[in-house]
Amino acid sequence: MSDKTNGRATDMDKISDLYIRRFGNPPGKVLPLAGAGSNRRYYRVEDETGKPIAATSGDDVLENRAFIALSNHLGGKCHLPVPEVLEVSVDGTMYLQTWAGDRDLFSALAPARDSGNYHPQDLTLLEESMRILARVQYLGGKDMDFSKCYPCEEMDERLVRWDLNYFKYCFLKPSGLEFDEQALQNEFDRMEGLLLQDKSSCATFMVRDFQSRNIMVGDDGRLTVIDFQGGRRGPGAYDVASFLWQAKAHYPDWLKESLIEVYVKEMASLDYSFDQEKFRSKLPVFVLFRILQTLGAYGFRGWVERKPHFLESVPAGVDNLAKVFENYSLRESFPVIAELAVRLQQRFGQDAVERQRTKHLHHLLPTENPLTVRVTSFSFKKGIPADPSGNGGGFVFDCRAPHNPGRYEPYKKQTGLDGSVREFLEEDGEIQPFIAECERLVDASVERYLQRGFTDLAVNFGCTGGQHRSVYSADAIARHLNDKYGVRVLLTHREQGIAEELPAKEVTVEFDSFLRDPQKTYKTGE
């Protein structure tokens, strides 16, 4: 059983105790929510009528204390739009808070982002986000006890160096690109000086991770800022850069300029000493710094922690980095980073990744594809499936480590083919790395089997009941193999009594492991 599963089981008791303490009766329903990059766990807690509040569980008590203190200051004292903390556990690892909304701003803007057409309602949400940011920074920074911030009170030399090294050691070095480390460090030192030039006079609250996924949209259209526990004293330009240059947000340049104008007007109305020209002149350096930091995070979560979904942002991130040097006069101050930006874009940018994905592997599929892959989901309680081909080989994958939806009432009668179960597994984040590793192993065998003309391969996925995780995994692998290699797949969910044939088809074999293994050398056309 995974630590997260154990954690969630323990959380249920704490949530019930806190809810009873606050409201006098147990909750009607508790639903786990998807996490992000941290180890914090989130829940939607409903009363008998379905009215929700939120519960957050985190083992880092100091981080929890920071969030609670900042929430009390920003919301209680400054009347800014942040969640209200309702109840806190005695050990400080769990707290209840008001519900901020069912969807975040990133999701709300998906139609505009996909079409490129921002309607008035979209612009209203974005403009209000910038006004809220200015108010949170300025009003929130007034009379704030920054000693309550965690892990540090302000953006200082250590923080800047840590974030720049985050990029160097977690992204740049794993990428496999060669570079002059001393020359790069010289530019890091130069950037540090520019970023902290006005540190002594800075009195604003820096949210630290102000981006569209951390702004919730209520049913009434009101916005609420969440995930500010890492905030500290610091320059407002960092948050503006964080929001407008979020890798997957893809805000067009005209929209960025328009929103910057909204921000500076709001800040000037709050702080008569605010220097708009100075802010605009410093913003490009903060944009560059923030992009480097986020690339470090993508590298750490994707390449180091092996979480593939973080790698999805890498192409947009390196494209962002290259575009900064196209749009702003930074090349003279940072020639080494500018040159690295070009090389990173050539290797990892969206165009580069798409080109790699359309390259054939070094072997070609046989004209007559004889291979059949039997993919089966099963319950370990009822034994491992026999191989009807008589070869007695193949793969048996244990799916019991990822978080089990079957532990929760809403999913007990559903299977891994149901949309809500699939959403639970995908949002929880544990199943994707598991599937990615299974794909890596199975793909290697399929490619070799095709080369040698083998006819049968068995791939089995087992879990406790053969209902949720194994069914999801078997279905995912079966369709992956059929789509990628065109092989005939016999898909069976043994305990569910479901069987399906995916017929062989002609496909172009794609090069899809490029981002997962950046230092690997692939040969094509041989």
Let me know whether 190 and 246 are in one domain: no
Let me know whether 430 and 466 are in one domain: yes
Query: pLDDT digit string (tens) for 19-58?
Result: 999 999 999 999 888 765 567 889 999 999 999 999 999 9
Q: Could you list the residue range(s) of the whole structural domain that residue 72 is in?
A: 3-98
Let me know whether 92 and 67 are in one domain: yes
CA pair distance 429, 526, nearest whole angstrom: 37
User: In this structure, is residue 507 part of a structural domain?
Assistant: no
Better-predicted residue by pLDDT, 486 or 46: 46
We report the CATH number of the domain holding residue 52 as 3.30.200.20
**Residue 225: its pLDDT value, please?**
98
**Is residue 112 within 8 Å of 119, Cβ to Cβ?**
yes
**Residue 392: its pLDDT value, please?**
65
Q: Does the model's pTM come out above 0.85?
A: no
Let me know whether 386 and 492 are in one domain: yes
Q: Could you tell me which residues are beta bridge partners of residue 120? A: none
Q: Give yes or no for residue 324 having a pLDDT over 50.
A: yes
Let me know whether 148 and 249 are in one domain: yes
* Closest C-alpha to 495, from 366, 338, 385: 385
Q: Which helix (H) or strand (E) holds 4?
A: helix 3-23
Alpha helices in 404-515 (DSSP H): 419-428, 431-452, 469-485
What does the CA dihedral 407, 408, 413, 415 come to, rounded to 10 degrees?
A: -70
Q: Give yes or no for residue 3 having a pLDDT over 50.
A: no
How do strand 395-398 and strand 372-379 relate by DSSP bridges? unpaired
Q: Give yes or no for residue 362 having a pLDDT over 80.
A: no
User: In this structure, is residue 517 part of a structural domain?
Assistant: no
> Lowest-pLDDT range, 32-36, 82-86, 239-243, 302-306?
32-36
Let me know whether 329 and 390 are in one domain: no
We report the CATH number of the domain holding residue 259 as 1.10.510.10
Let me know whether 318 and 420 are in one domain: no
Q: How many residues does the chain have?
A: 526
Token pair recorded at residue 432 = 């994707």
Place 366 in a pLDDT band, splitting at 50, 70 and 90: very low
- Using the 3D structure, point to which of 274, 306, 324 is the last residue of a domain: 274
CA pair distance 288, 307, nearest whole angstrom: 25
Alpha helices in 84-234 (DSSP H): 105-108, 110-115, 120-141, 157-167, 173-175, 181-195
What does the CA dihedral 302, 306, 309, 313 come to, rounded to 10 degrees?
A: 10
For the chain, the first-to-last Cα distance in angstroms comes to 45
Q: How many domains does the chain have?
A: 4
- Using the 3D structure, point to which of 74, 98, 122 is the last residue of a domain: 98
Let me know whether 342 and 395 are in one domain: no
**Is residue 461 within 8 Å of 377, Cβ to Cβ?**
yes
**Residue 512: its pLDDT value, please?**
47
3-state SS class at 97? strand
Q: Which residue, chain included where needed, has tokens 């083998």?
A: 454
Q: Could you tell me which residues are beta bridge partners of residue 56? A: 42, 95
Q: Which helix (H) or strand (E) holds 294?
A: helix 276-299
Mean pLDDT value across the chain: 89
Let me know whether 259 and 308 are in one domain: no
Cβ within 8 Å of residue 60, ≥6 positions away: 39
Let me know whether 419 and 458 are in one domain: yes
